[in-house]
């Protein structure tokens, strides 16, 4: 029988009670309170922030919009491989500031230079703006590191959680056909890869586990503003060839996105590319932002990402 971790039960009970009261009082979701919600959650429950030797801000120069990036380099005297990490937040929330402790842990745990793009968010900048920024970061990362005179190993991987996982898989799909880009590996944490919301987990985990399926639908309605074909935009339904990067997928049992993550992993494997799947059988969506409640589980993910990227 499926049971959510007892470590999360008091948090979920309080969260669900608070949401019910807000809705009863006439609460309406908008971009501001979505952003505040993720920021407050992360600040409250992800309090450990390891030191990183060098942290610098820069830009990825691109046509139309220069993408701000923050670079986390755990060992500036060494030539380290590079990891672009796309933060989560349903394409509407999250930021480089909010995800600071997670970037730091990724850099320290994987011994990679982590490049964190501040990609544009919906609804002010709907699809495909964020995806364009994600790809511009991929194409411009070496030029930015060179401009800074930073030592690095020319080996590029990508990672992201939730909506950031959507960006990872979207740029990986595009890079298959771009001779100018080589992605070695991608690590995806409860990625959003199916904008049609057609899997069993969407119904099975619809309410009660922090990310509600109705909230997913709301995010997507704010992201797609011009009646785009959501199936065509979904990384799950794009081309899967042997040119995809090696892929590691983390899913959470009580997450509405669980099944699409598993399906994505299976499609990568069917394309003949090495892929690994880790299903956290008592976790919920966004558990990496709740680290103080589920420290061991988060440490397991960082350790597995490290093992995958460096093997």
Give the pLDDT score at 1: 87
Residue 3 in any domain: the answer is no
Residue 2 in any domain: the answer is no
Residue 4 in any domain: the answer is no
Our count of domains for the chain comes to: 1
3-state secondary structure the chain: CCCCCCCCHHHHHHHHHHHHHHHHCCCCCCHHHHHHHHHHHHHHHCCCCCCCCEEEEEEECCCCCCEEEEEEECCCCCCCCEEEEECCCCCCCCCCCCCHHHHHHHHHHHCCEEEEECCCCCCCCCCCHHHHHHHHHHHHHHHHHHHCCCCCCCCEEEEEECHHHHHHHHHHHHHCCCCCCCCCEEEEECCCCCCCCCCHHHHHCCCCCCCCHHHHHHHHHHHCCCCCCHHHHCHHHCCCCCCCCEEEEEEEEECCCHHHHHHHHHHHHHCCCCEEEEEEEEEECCHHHHCCCCHHHHHHHHHHHHHHHHC
**Residue 146, domain CATH:** 3.40.50.1820
Q: What is the pTM of this model?
A: 0.98
Residue 209 in any domain: the answer is yes
Residue 113 in any domain: the answer is yes
pLDDT in tens, the chain (311 residues): 899 999 999 999 999 999 999 999 999 999 999 999 999 999 999 999 999 999 999 999 999 999 999 999 999 999 999 999 999 999 999 999 999 999 999 999 999 999 999 999 999 999 999 999 999 999 999 999 999 999 999 999 999 999 999 999 999 999 999 999 999 999 999 999 999 999 999 999 999 999 999 999 999 999 999 999 999 999 999 999 999 999 999 999 999 999 999 999 999 999 999 999 999 999 999 999 999 999 999 999 999 999 999 99
Residue 147 in any domain: the answer is yes
Q: Which domain holds residue 292?
A: 9-310
| pLDDT tens per residue, range 122-140 | 999 999 999 999 999 999 9
| pLDDT tens per residue, range 7-64 | 999 999 999 999 999 999 999 999 999 999 999 999 999 999 999 999 999 999 999 9
């Amino acid at each position: 029988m499926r049971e959510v971790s007892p470590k999360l039960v008091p948090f979920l009970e309080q969260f669900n009670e608070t949401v019910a009261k807000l809705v009863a009082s006439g609460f309406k979701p908008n971009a501001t309170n979505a952003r505040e919600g993720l920021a407050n959650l992360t600040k409250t429950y992800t309090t450990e922030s390891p030191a990183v030797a060098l942290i610098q801000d820069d830009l990825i120069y691109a046509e139309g919009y220069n993408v701000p990036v923050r670079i986390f380099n755990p060992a500036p005297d060494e030539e380290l491989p590079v990891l672009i990490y796309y933060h989560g937040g349903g394409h509407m929330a999250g930021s480089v500031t909010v995800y600071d402790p997670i970037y730091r842990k990724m850099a320290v745990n994987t011994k990679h230079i982590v490049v964190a793009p501040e990609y544009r968010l919906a609804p002010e900048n709907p699809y495909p703006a964020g995806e364009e920024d994600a790809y511009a970061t991929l194409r411009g990362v070496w030029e930015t590191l060179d401009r800074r005179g930073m030592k690095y190993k020319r080996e590029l991987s990508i990672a992201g959680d939730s909506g950031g996982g959507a960006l990872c898989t979207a740029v990986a799909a595009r890079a298959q056909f771009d001779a100018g880009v080589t992605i070695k590996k991608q690590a995806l944490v409860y990625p959003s890869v199916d904008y049609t919301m057609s899997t069993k987990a969407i119904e099975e985990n619809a309410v009660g586990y922090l990310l509600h399926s109705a909230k997913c639908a709301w995010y997507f309605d704010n992201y797609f503003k011009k009646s785009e074909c959501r199936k065509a935009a979904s990384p799950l339904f794009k081309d899967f060839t042997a040119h995809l990067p090696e892929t590691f997928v983390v899913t959470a049992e009580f997450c509405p996105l669980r099944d699409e993550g598993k399906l994505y992993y299976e499609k990568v494997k069917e394309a003949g590319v090495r892929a690994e799947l880790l299903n956290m059988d008592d976790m919920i969506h966004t558990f990496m932002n709740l680290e103080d409640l589920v420290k061991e589980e988060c440490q397991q993910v960082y350790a597995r990402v490290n093992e995958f990227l460096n093997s």
